Each structure stands twice: as structure tokens, then as C-alpha cells.
Chains A and B, each alone.
Chain A
């Protein structure tokens, strides 16, 4: 059991960046700039907009969830049948911007097809973690 897989399934990366939020916001939201550091895309900063991030190995399907210029950007991230949510938070600091990216776990299932079991992703993964902890 790896250390990072315990608790909630989310990934957080934070960095102090020596540039103002406005400049970072451009890099996060303008397609030709996004392509330079992330992937080819047809992004638009519009809530509900569907876009793809494309790389040699395949594509990530995304949908814009939240846009608050220079402060917050959030979109779904679906690859390999798993949907997660990526949220960027920009906070001005004395030396520039505190940039935070959180990719949060798996979307709970909308429906439950199997009677007597609640197998939504979060519960499923929690159950597996318990099980794997016992079998160590």
C-alpha cells in the first residue's frame, strides 16, 4: 500500500510562483499557452464547456466546472474511464502567487445498479484500502 493512496484519493501540488495571478491565469486559460505546458486543447473559460486535452498517448475529456478569473479554475478530468476534478487556486502573495492544484478522487456514481451494495468509487476505494491494510 503506497503512502499517497491512503485517505482521500486526491493529488495536491502547490508552488510559490514569482509572477502575479493575472499572468498565471493567462497560461492556465489561453489554448495556445495551455498547449505549451500541458497538452493540445480546445479550452474555453466558460462553465459547462466541453474540451479535450490531447497527447500522443490519448486524450483527456474535460468539462469546465468553475471559472473565477485570476482566482479559481476547475474542470473535470476523465481518462481511462475514471473521472476526477482538477481545481486551480491562485492566491496573491508578497512575492507573486501561491498556485495550488488539486485533483480530487473519483466521481461518486450517479446510479446504483447492484442491489444490496453501494459500490460508488469513494466507498469502493475505501473498502479496498481497508482490505489491503488487513492483508499486509
Chain B
């Protein structure tokens, strides 16, 4: 039996202002005004997302760094206190257990933020493998509220309600601060491709949501002059897709490896040991047979997950794992796994969109022009 559907601190706000769906056991907003206006707000101004549904665990103890280096593919020892990294955990075959952001709070204290749908699985996996290490694991999901404030005006928005100089918190750095008087931990990370922050309000269970609600309202008020929009999971998905970021369960899972997924930059094969290392070394030596790529539609139509991809001679070469209409580009885009010989940029392919083969082309991530959109845009 599944648990009753959970609600976040903002459930009243969402109920009054958004269309609600159930996602990973939570009542979550799918959109407020609409996916497109929310998406555009984040690309051009700023948006705020309630992402309290995500899983959060604290890992502490003298062997935390060694434990995390064993569990994850990236190099946890490269993290200095108050910095963060994107990483994955694999099974023995190199299949991805989950992808997440790992932050080092103190020398012997880390925070891992993983996917909502994997909360239990990840917690068990970490616990199960922690026995040889002197570490303590604590699922902190239910006592921390979490928001993402994303977009080119995210910094200006938060700067209005904090005394901390946000210029000093660079991309993938974190810090403790007060937001409108409430203690908060913030990290300059996100899932939209834009500059922005993820905000953690500690010690606020959903039974006592005041601090979370006040902070949410204070951010909305501060962002008003920049055109802030509350954003739902719909825009969160279209934004991450345009940026070429993976959605666990769609684009990556235990049957795909980080090398196939184009996440080689978070796999540090020089590390002494980690779960999945042997399988990944073997795959690297043999060469990957398929790879995750971006596809842009060159004729009208919107690709969707599980649709077949063929070459121009209609032979199957792969399948779509995520697809949507891109609000910025105004055409269909997809993430797909294709056999390696078809993954060169510019390769012309066909996607079977509702059984009709429609033309598409292999492109690189992000889908948008990174000089115009995203964190590296030229101002």
C-alpha cells in the first residue's frame, strides 16, 4: 500500500493558485498561469518553484568523505566546505541509481539532494552500503522546505531580502544566510540552465509551515519588480529539457550508464574505488554503443518519450526519452538515445511521432543559444 499523498508547506498557496497533480507521492503544482508564461519568466526574468518534494539527506561523521567517494561517481574530496557538485550513484553494472547535487556543509557534514521518486530507494541504498564506514545518515526531507529561485534576475531578487553579498556565492557554491529574517541555506544551483539559487529553510516541518510560507511570500514580493512568476513542475520540465538536463526515470535509470548519458564529466575513474567503477572502466575501454543526444524537429510535430528514432532509411537507431515543445525555440525538441554511429551533430534522423516519421536533426546541448539564454549568457 502506498502512503497517503503528501503536501508541502505551500499546499494552501498552490491550491488557491495552481492546477495540482500528484507527482512522486506529493500534491504539486503543475502550473499557475501556464507552462509557457512561467517558462518565459525564468528565461527572461525570474521564477520561484516549490521543490520541497525532493529528497534530502544529511551525512555526517569522520568517514563521510570516504563513504561518499565510494558511493558516488564524482570526486567528493574535491568539494571544499560550502561548495556543491552534480554527481551520480551507480549500481555494480554502472547503471545509474540516481543523479543529485551533493553539497559539503562542513568538513564532516554533507547534504545530498536527490530525486523525489527515489527518496526511499536512495536512502536504503546509502544505509545498506554505509556499514563499513563510520558515518551517520539522516533523512532530513521532512523538516526542510526547499525552493528554487531561477532566472537572470534571481540574484537581484534575493539580494533585496538578505544582507549577505550574493556576488560572493558563485555558481556551485553555498552559504548560510537570512532571507527576510529567516535562517536559510542557499546554493547557487538549479535545474533550469539559468543562474539562480536553491533555498533551504531548515527546521520547518509541514506541520509547522510558517517559516517556509513567510519566506516564499517574501521572495515573491521582492521579485515583483522583476516580473517574478511562481512556476510549477510543467515549466520545470520544459526548462531542464531545453537546457539538456536529465530527468531520472526518463533519460537515465539503472539500465543507462553515466557514460552513455553524456555525464562522463561526473565520473572520476581515477578515484581509488567506487560502486560501478569496474563496469564503467570496461565500458570506456570498449567504447559506448549508444549515447544520449539532443534532437530538434526540422518539421512540425512534437516528439514524446518512447517514440522510435530511425535513420533516413527507416532503420531503428534509438528512441526518445524526453520530448516537448520548446517555448523559446518554438519547435519540438527531444532527448534520445541513439546508436553511437548516428550521434554526430547534424545527423538527420526520423522520429516516429504518433506513427508518422517526422524529420529531426542531432544537435548539442543546450538546445538554446548559450550566448543568449542560460547562466553563461552575455549580458
**Chains A and B come from one and the same complex:** no
Interface, chain B (partner A; CB < 8 A): none
Interface, chain A (partner B; CB < 8 A): none
